[in-house]
Amino acid sequence: MQTAAERATATGTSRQKFRVGVVLLDNFTLNAFSGFIDALRLAADTGGRSRQIECGWVITGHGALRASCGLTVTPEHEPVDPAQLDYIAVAGGNDYMLRRQPAWLDAYLRAADGAGKTLIGLCTGTFNIARAGLMDGRPACVHWNVRDEFIDQFPGIDTVSDNIFLDTGDRITCAGSTGASDLALHLVRRHCGAERAQQSLRHMILNRQRKASSPQPQFASGAGAIRDGAVRRCINLMEQSLDVTVPLAELAARAGLSERQLARRFHDALGQPPSRYYRHLRLSHGAWRLVHTTDPVMQIAVETGFADASHFHREFRRRYGMPPAIYRKAATRREPHGARKA
């Protein structure tokens, strides 16, 4: 069966090897959308000239759409006939908790699926594909920050949050953020070859393309199994504020509890007070940075919420049994080809 790009090539109208239609939704996440499109754009032509030669894309949607950052975008096209495309990507965003979506989106995605097209969930676009009933029997890769909500809305779908994206053939789901660029490069490499993917990387000043199995930097392992919703919400807040510690009083207020109630519920759920668990998250983040970046220890200490390198060193050694520098060297020996900072 010919791809849409192959059919265009056969008629002499294009040499595109694949073509993607991106459906923008209101409140979409700009980083995931722009990273995905730019990785395609920089691979499609030479010299960053943006001509759709090696691959193609069309940005679609209904009317003016506002990104979650406030930028307003007006797509040139309404959603196009799936027969003209090889992939349909849904660029979701901050409206994933609404639990409803336009009827036209359900109909369009089902038509694309019926035409045998691969559906891509960018960021929370996976929520929209699942809401249309098109993720049944397939695992979904979602960002760790929305995993609880996805499980709550779609309890029958196997949910993955330790990959940056997941390609299962007719569905590709992506946690979003910078992982969307890696997903686009995955498609470029598949259809256009490694050199085109490398060309895009060079233009984006990135050192490497991450694999789908690359981990999401998350540090609250096992938090998904915690039944107490207030504790899970506090853990999510902690993970989003690893550089500047959120005071216990603020955590409690945002959870709708007193400090004493929150401390008791943390102890019931995790066997430790919030402050100790917070320190655990910050140290886990520091350990991840030591292995996956070349940042100086002093910088990591400050950016994980410690007063200085000495404080970080002392707490890190107490937790891991060795100083940060030794931990980094040991990890490098274990994984000589491990990921370094892009």
How big is the chain, counted in residues?
342
Residues 117 and 241 in one domain: no
Within a domain: 31: yes
pLDDT score of 13: 44
Residues 265 and 141 in one domain: no
pLDDT score of 9: 44
Residues 198 and 233 in one domain: no
Within a domain: 218: no
Residues 68-95: tens digit of each pLDDT: 999 999 998 999 999 999 999 999 989 9
Domain boundary (175, 203, 231) is at 203
Residues 198 and 97 in one domain: yes
Residues in the chain where the model's pLDDT stays below 50: 7, 9-13, 336-342
Q: What angle do CA 169, 170, 175 make, to 5 degrees?
A: 80
In this structure, the dihedral spanned by the alpha carbons of residues 224, 225, 228 and 232, taken in order and rounded to 10 degrees, is -20
Residues 280 and 183 in one domain: no
Q: What angle do CA 128, 130, 136 make, to 5 degrees?
A: 165
Q: Could you tell me the CATH number of the domain that includes residue 323?
A: 1.10.10.60
Q: How many domains does the structure of the chain reveal?
A: 2
Residues 238 and 324 in one domain: yes
pLDDT score of 143: 92
Domain boundary (203, 233, 260) is at 203
Within a domain: 107: yes
Instruction: Give this prediction's pTM.
Output: 0.71
Residues 124 and 42 in one domain: yes
Residues 253 and 197 in one domain: no
Within a domain: 175: yes
Residues 279 and 311 sit within 8 Å (Cβ to Cβ)? no
Residues 179 and 252 in one domain: no
Strands 171-174 and 165-167: antiparallel
Q: Could you tell me the CATH number of the domain that includes residue 141?
A: 3.40.50.880
Residues 265 and 118 in one domain: no
pLDDT score of 292: 83
pLDDT score of 326: 94
- CB-based burial of residue 39 (10 Å sphere; 0-12 exposed, 13-18 middle, 19+ buried)? buried
Residues 243 and 305 sit within 8 Å (Cβ to Cβ)? yes
